[in-house]
Amino acid sequence: MNKKCRVHPSHGHKRHALLMICLFAFALTLFVSPVMAKPLYQEQVEQSEVSDKALKKSLKQVKEHKEIKVVDDLSVPPFHKRAVLQTTKKQPFCMTCHLSLPHRKNERSRTFMNMHSRYIACETCHFIPKGAALEYRWLAYDGVDAGKLIAPRRAVEVSVETPAKSERKHTAQFKKREPLAPQPGARISPFYNDVPVLLFKETPFAKDIEKKWEDADETQRAEIKAQLHAPLKKKGAACKECHGKRTPMIDFERLGASATQLKAIQNNIVARFFERFKKEDERIRIDKLL
């Protein structure tokens, strides 16, 4: 049929084909793009059904929830304090309610988890839906390309200096290394069909939630909290899911890791130590680490 048309092209056929292409393109913009563009996290929030049990728990949390204010004007200067708290152009949606250093409860892991939040998106650890194959890429939260997917730093094999004789083996672990992030403010983020699954604070959906949260009473807040957290993982990803050798959830080579960097991630001494904890109240002891 196609061949015939090319051999004996007629205006009628051409116009017909053109019209079909136009219609098809129009239909695509109408139906496909809004669906594709919606971040997976938002889609799952909207589709989640909240159980009575989850709602009850949420209400209890909301009642106990306290807004945390970071006090800047202390009469005595705090001993441990960064000069400036890093802010990025793009803020995660989660920051509408959580602090930029959100982990407080688990004394053992909170410092490490807060450190990771600087270069790993909240959703990478907290939004791991079943059945959706997510890909992890670098997303710029800052700089001229804020909000966009960015290429990894080229994996260049940096020669590791041989440690001086006096240096013990473990101190090499704590040497300054090139960061994996290709630029400051870049975070490893989940993508689905090349679209980031996460939301930034200024997207319409996030703004709408922020407004509703401000105006809501406790019962309404409990509903909002339960709905937003239904697709989230309460206990983020464990150390070994990224620092382990067996089934890493993230392809670090694709993110620009050199062989040396990959090895350093897989042999991370602190992560290995964490896997050895058995009891909730066990603490890291420096003498056991060294």
Measured CA to CA in angstroms, residue 202 lies from 55, 180, 210 at distances of 27, 27, 10
Rounded to the nearest whole angstrom, what is the least distance from the CB of residue 134 to ligand HEC in the complex?
Answer: 12
Structure tokens at 44: 């799952």
* Among candidate residues 67, 116, 117, 97, the one with its CA nearest the CA of residue 209: 97
Structure tokens at 27: 């239909």
Rounded to the nearest whole angstrom, what is the least distance from the CB of residue 92 to ligand HEC in the complex?
Answer: 6
Residue closer to ligand HEC by CB (options 90, 229) is 229
Residues lying near ligand HEC in the complex (CB under 6 A) are found at 61-62, 65, 92-94, 96-98, 102-106, 109-110, 112-113, 116-117, 119-120, 122-126, 179-181, 209, 213, 224-225, 228-229, 232, 234-237, 239, 241-243, 250, 265, 268, 270-271, 274
Residue closer to ligand HEC by CB (options 28, 195) is 195
Residue closer to ligand HEC by CB (options 101, 149) is 101
Rounded to the nearest whole angstrom, what is the least distance from the CB of residue 110 to ligand HEC in the complex?
Answer: 6
Residue closer to ligand HEC by CB (options 32, 158) is 158
Rounded to the nearest whole angstrom, what is the least distance from the CB of residue 150 to ligand HEC in the complex?
Answer: 15
Taking residue 233's Cβ as centre, other Cβ atoms within 10 Å add up to 13
| Burial class of residue 208, CB neighbours in 10 A (0-12, 13-18, 19+) | exposed
Q: What angle do CA 31, 37, 38 make, to 5 degrees?
A: 100
Contacts (Cβ under 8 Å, ≥6 apart) of 245: 266
Rounded to the nearest whole angstrom, what is the least distance from the CB of residue 76 to ligand HEC in the complex?
Answer: 26
Q: Are 145 and 182 spatial neighbours (Cβ–Cβ below 8 Å)?
A: no
Of all residues in the shown chain, the one whose CB is closest to ligand HEC is 236
